[in-house]
Chain A
């Protein structure tokens, strides 16, 4: 299976601040995605992280709130900006291995905003 590591694994943040989550994948991954899982809910896709260009956002998510970078094939960051308690969620990085059709997930970053 692909190796996907995220950090931080969890954090507690103050309202109005920003947090950047880092994701490192192994070289067999071609596509990278960011998901959000709100408490008691299923996963919701935030965006596709595009290498060397702007991310592609899903409906309801915007770059100003969730800026994403992917400077190279194996690394991406998601920033949650100007946080409010409603942003308290688990944020998950995922990587798609095209030649096997498998999507792998990191363990997630559990964010609590006070």
Chain B
């Protein structure tokens, strides 16, 4: 996997946008960026993934820089239920779903 770097923790106010950064400077041209989150005592949950274009779904938006060396996951209106560990992963092209999880970012949403 391309090495990813995330801040260990961040706080966010309820109702505000949460912007989660991830650096992946060694990513190759065909490697996607995946985001997952794990709420306490639950299995990880897929959020979104992208290659080079910005992506949006019902959960979040993914902004990938033009040089693809970094990306930002945006939770547009954070709620208390968004408190979780968020993982940014850039697996090899031929991994077929085999992901290596790092430490992630512990996000705490406060009232």
Q: Which of B28-45 contact A (CB under 8 A)?
A: 32, 34, 36, 42-45
A42-80 vs B, CB cutoff 8 Å, 1 = contact: the mask equals 111100100000000000000000000000000000000
Q: In the complex, which residues of chain B have a beta carbon less than 8 angstroms from the beta carbon of A107?
A: 42-43
Q: Is B10 an interface residue (CB 8 A)?
A: no
* A residues near B46, Cβ cutoff 8 Å: 1, 102-104
- A96 to B104 CA separation, bound complex (whole angstroms): 21
Which residue of the partner chain B has the closest CB to A105?
A: B43
User: How long is the Cα–Cα vector from A105 to B99 in the complex, in angstroms?
Assistant: 12
Give the interface SS of chain A, mostly helix, strand, loop or mixed. strand
Given contacts A42-B102, A42-B103, A101-B49, contact A96 B96 (CB under 8 A): yes
Contact: B98 with A98, CB < 8 Å? no
Shortest CB distance B58–A (Å): 11
B44 near A105: Cβ-Cβ < 8 Å: yes
Flag if B42 contacts A102 (CB, 8 Å). Answer: no
Give bound CA distance, A101 to B85, whole Å. 21
With the chains together, A106 CA to B44 CA distance in Å?
8
In A72-105, the 8 Å CB interface with B consists of 92, 94-98, 101-105
In the complex, which residues of chain B have a beta carbon less than 8 angstroms from the beta carbon of A48? Answer: 98
Q: Does B111 contact A (CB under 8 A)?
A: no
Measured CB to CB, the nearest residue on chain B to A93 is B43
Contact of A31 among B96, B101, B102, B103 (CB under 8 A): B96
B43 CB contacts on chain A under 8 angstroms: 4, 92, 105-108
Q: Is the CB of A105 within 8 A of B98?
A: no
Within 8 A of A (CB), among B55-111: 85, 87, 96-104
Query: Is the beta-carbon distance between B101 and A42 smaller than 8 angstroms?
Result: yes
20 A-B residue pairings within 8 Å (CB atoms):
A30-B97, A31-B97, A33-B98, A42-B85, A42-B102, A42-B104, A43-B101, A45-B98, A45-B100, A48-B98, A94-B97, A98-B97, A101-B32, A102-B46, A103-B34, A105-B43, A105-B44, A105-B45, A106-B43, A108-B43
